[in-house]
Chains A and B, each alone.
Chain A
Amino acid sequence: MELLTGIAATGGALNSQRTRLDIIAQNIANARTTRGPDGGPYQRRIVSFESELLRSTDSANGAKSPGLATVRVSGVTTDPTPGQRVNDPGHPDADAQGMVTLPNVNLAFEMVDLITASRAYEANLNVAKNSRQMALKTLEIGK
């Protein structure tokens, strides 16, 4: 039994949300990168989560219980949708027809995702704060 209850679940979630924020930052930073390491335009990255069982809490009388689960990043995948093509003959990465393929990053979409991720991070921080207060109260028993 841990002293700070629920901190394992919250810690995993904070890490995962941080990774998500990092990836969103990367997407926004590369919103106009037309030449990546592979020569093509930057492809938007997507973070996916999966839950991870921390411990099962089956009751003594054998009733099945779902158990406590944290969350972790299951993988970072590349969004395969093609990027927008614009006519810009002066661009160094323009093809023979003068068309440039831009990254498939949609700034509005990334901003919404950014806010969702930071709100989720905040909610988890709140849980951590509460765990701490509860632990302090528990330690005060008998004082």
Chain B
Amino acid sequence: MIAPVANSLNYQLASKLLDASVMRHEAIATNIANAETPGFRRIDVASDFNRALRSQFTGGRPPSPSDVAAINPHLAVDANVRTVRPDGNSVEIETELMAMSRNRVDHEFLTEIVSRHIKQLKMAISGRVT
């Protein structure tokens, strides 16, 4: 009976994107840690995660939550970097710090969505707004 609430599309999407945002933070931490390691290439969440998610919405009708649940983010070397230093390192610390602040706002937003879903469920169970 609870399954439809926990399986709602928005909830599934938010928790998937939350996974991706945590993974992106790990990637950024790795990039900044290795900002001065010769030959290091910056990593990021692979772009096919975004592409796979978007393709679920192109059919005109919303996808089923289980389809969304099957898409998982993973890390990949960023092939679109603009500059590579002479030592073979492609990390720009400013870009990474910007990406980190942005990712943090995303993360805050997504925790809020997940949180509200759970609160809604609680409210339905208890019948009280607390």
Contact = CB atoms under 8 A, between A and B. Distances in A.
Interface of A: 5-7, 9-10, 12-13, 49-51, 54, 57-60, 63, 65-71, 116, 119-120, 123-124, 126-127, 130-131, 133-134, 137-138, 140-143
Contacts of B22: 5, 134
Nearest to B94: A123
B29 A131 contact: yes
Interface of B: 22-23, 25-30, 32-38, 40-41, 43, 46, 72, 74-77, 93, 96-97, 100-101, 104, 107-108, 111, 114-115, 118-119, 122
Nearest to B40: A51
Contact of A57 (B29, B32, B75): B75
B125 to A, nearest CB: 13
Given A6-B28, A68-B26, A142-B119, A51 B34 contact: yes
B75 A9 contact: no
Interface of A (DSSP majority class): mixed
Contact of A12 (B33, B40, B41, B100): B33
Contacts of B104: 130, 133-134
B29 A127 contact: yes
B30 A69 contact: yes
Given A13-B33, A130-B25, A143-B115, 17 more contacts: A5-B26, A6-B29, A9-B29, A49-B34, A51-B34, A51-B40, A58-B74, A63-B46, A63-B76, A65-B46, A69-B40, A71-B34, A120-B36, A127-B33, A130-B100, A131-B29, A134-B22
